[in-house]
Structure 1
């Protein structure tokens, strides 16, 4: 028997269902059709190759996210990548950042700017705009300014220098039975190189019993490397710390190294940064001249990442996945993970989600240490370095053992 109460309950139930359906439709209607993420990197000038590799990594991340259904917390909103060219100077990088925040008010996050000097300039702009920025740049000063919207994914240059020297000494001792006692330094004066070399210059070499035979600094772009490498030829250190930041400078230095018969592994050469592991360097110099050269990086396609490396190679035609590409891929994934956790495409909410983030899955698997969490300055707490060495025409990870795909080579004297 149908009563007034039964009818009323039915009406209320139907009304409630309609209200829920309406609310759900409103939520999806309010969700943005797209979520914008920016990449600001040098896409022209001497560092354009690094920017290109970052672009390829970021584009693959966007494609993967959209293929998997977009941003699920926002009703499947698609991710759009917006590109800005940082150019070849800090002034151009800062101008690009100003255009970015003016032209794209809906950005939820940005990754870039590769060269630490550029990142320092760009992050001044993103900080004022309260736009979260993730970066692979190394300079310690990036996260020492009290900023709230910068997130440094790689270990700082100072941290890398502190960790790299003991690791390199262990590699040398394992290969030769003894630790090196002498070194030489050739470095440019960019923020990343200065940051990397400072702890070593300030006492790390001395504590390790290593004598610095010469310490040379140059301003990029380098016109002639003869005088610099002449120091290495005349003083013959047991290893050479060679800290440039661009492929053209690396090319000049390494060509002169080989002209003076110091290359092909005869003198261990250690650099810093992914530019020393690019396919472009191989094309310009060749495998024989690069053999044995090492570089310390904040990330690399390593053991355990074979799946993403294979897909990247197929999608881009690149022979391997460098720090630039895998960091850009991971950074975009991390920003979108923060959007998912914030449940809205709001840059302040995304920044807060990044500050609270503590994950060991998803994007965390694309960074050494396999964990993403940040300290109060924006440094990734568990960031670790990787040492890569050119062997038979390919830059392969040799340290730490968990990431290594090859045994290290260190020539005996």
Structure 2
């Protein structure tokens, strides 16, 4: 009889624990926590962890605490779908992710089907929102057509008498960005001397660099990630080339300079306005730095994605999918990225777009 009674007590206790756990709001971040783009996954993880810690310390959300799950998609589309399905099984109601557009786009189909809200801090391919599978899909970063417009017009104006090559890594992000940049550059009256694609993940781009040299390329625009761009910058200098490397927001990591060393000096890239310079975000920036974390790149964008979701849940009064989507559609949000942020009918953010940055002495800052 004692055993039965104890089992019953244990069962009741277990149910109580389960109910308490269920009362928590389970959210997630997902990105390349491993692999060659892991620097960006670590940015997202750092931003998400700090946001959850700060929100919970301030009392949580509608009386409930946030619980964070972290998913590793390695920027692989199939792995991203697997991660999305794992989140479904864990009761996740919101995902701040993914990083690569090639991961965010297929994962978004799972989230839309399962009623999970997704706000990506980093996926810039226009298709992510142009072809979104449901209303709960948003982003707090810009789009590649915006980024490409800034880059393309700049290249056509600044280097109108120079030989420009445009290359891409064949990914959704890299090719999409390169195509948009080429389109706007040509609309501004400048045709590229050379257009090529390359394979991501290789260690030796000597053949490509030799071809650039043969074509007297003065400016190389790279639609791709920092790992390959860094190697190209270094290998161009090894061949005695002074070619300027220009790229997009996938160079916003100190790891780029770790690859290039002094060969990265003068590299130009487009990225949204630096949230570290937002005065309202200064206390959070200081908190990161106190922990030895530099909130570069997409750290603050991930933080902002979670801030935005939390404010929408508070406005909705619950985590009900439809109610939170409506709050996101109708609301304006003050985040570490700026004040009065809102979303348009596609789920794209209304914050300012892209500006140029320059790498100098191991750091990037606004181009002078």
For 2:29, which of 30, 39, 48 is the aligned residue? 39
Structure 1 distance, partners of 2:302, 2:208, is: 34
Cα offset for 1:271?
Answer: 0.8
Q: Could you tell me whether the CA contact under 8 Å between 2:166 and 2:182 is conserved in 1?
A: no
Q: Could you tell me whether the CA contact under 8 Å between 2:52 and 2:66 is conserved in 1?
A: yes
* Equivalent residue number for residue 337 of structure 2: 366
How many residue pairs get aligned? The number is: 346
Q: Could you tell me whether the CA contact under 8 Å between 1:131 and 1:348 is conserved in 2?
A: no
For 1:62, which of 42, 46, 52 is the aligned residue? 52
Q: 1:345 to 1:32 in 2, by over 3 A?
A: farther
* Equivalent residue number for residue 151 of structure 1: 138
For 1:333, which of 300, 307, 325 is the aligned residue? 307
For 2:69, which of 78, 82, 85 is the aligned residue? 82
For 2:259, which of 265, 284, 287 is the aligned residue? 284
Structure 1: runs of 5 or more not aligned: 1-28, 173-177, 399-406, 408-413
For 1:308, which of 280, 284, 290 is the aligned residue? 284
Structure 2 distance, partners of 1:55, 1:180, is: 43
For 1:385, which of 346, 354, 360 is the aligned residue? 354
Q: What is the CA deviation profile of residues 252-284 of structure 1, one whole-angstrom value per residue up to 9, with x for unaligned ones?
A: 22221221223xxx332111123x231222233
Cα offset for 1:289?
Answer: 1.5
Cα offset for 1:119?
Answer: 0.6
Cα offset for 1:52?
Answer: 0.9
For 1:4-403, what aligned pairs fall within 5 Å after superposition? 33-71=23-61, 74-75=62-63, 77-104=64-91, 107-135=92-120, 136-147=122-133, 148-167=135-154, 172=158, 179-202=160-183, 204-245=184-225, 247-262=226-241, 266-274=242-250, 276-286=251-261, 288-298=262-272, 300-305=274-279, 306-315=282-291, 317-318=292-293, 320-359=294-333, 362-363=334-335, 365-366=336-337, 370-398=339-367
Q: What is the CA deviation profile of residues 315-339 of structure 1, one whole-angstrom value per residue up to 9, with x for unaligned ones?
A: 2x23x32222111111111111111
Cα offset for 1:346?
Answer: 2.3
* Equivalent residue number for residue 15 of structure 2: none
TM-align CA RMSD: 2.4
Q: What is the CA deviation profile of residues 350-371 of structure 1, one whole-angstrom value per residue up to 9, with x for unaligned ones?
A: 2221111223xx21x415xx44
Cα offset for 1:150?
Answer: 0.8
Structure 2 distance, partners of 1:149, 1:257, is: 44
Q: What is the CA deviation profile of residues 79-128 of structure 1, one whole-angstrom value per residue up to 9, with x for unaligned ones?
A: 22111111342111111111111222xx3311111111001111111111
Structure 2: runs of 5 or more not aligned: 1-18
Q: TM-score, normalised by structure 1?
A: 0.77
Q: TM-score, normalised by structure 2?
A: 0.86
Q: Could you tell me whether the CA contact under 8 Å between 1:298 and 1:323 is conserved in 2?
A: no
Q: 1:68 to 1:386 in 2, by over 3 A?
A: farther
Cα offset for 1:30?
Answer: 10
Structure 2 distance, partners of 1:383, 1:128, is: 31
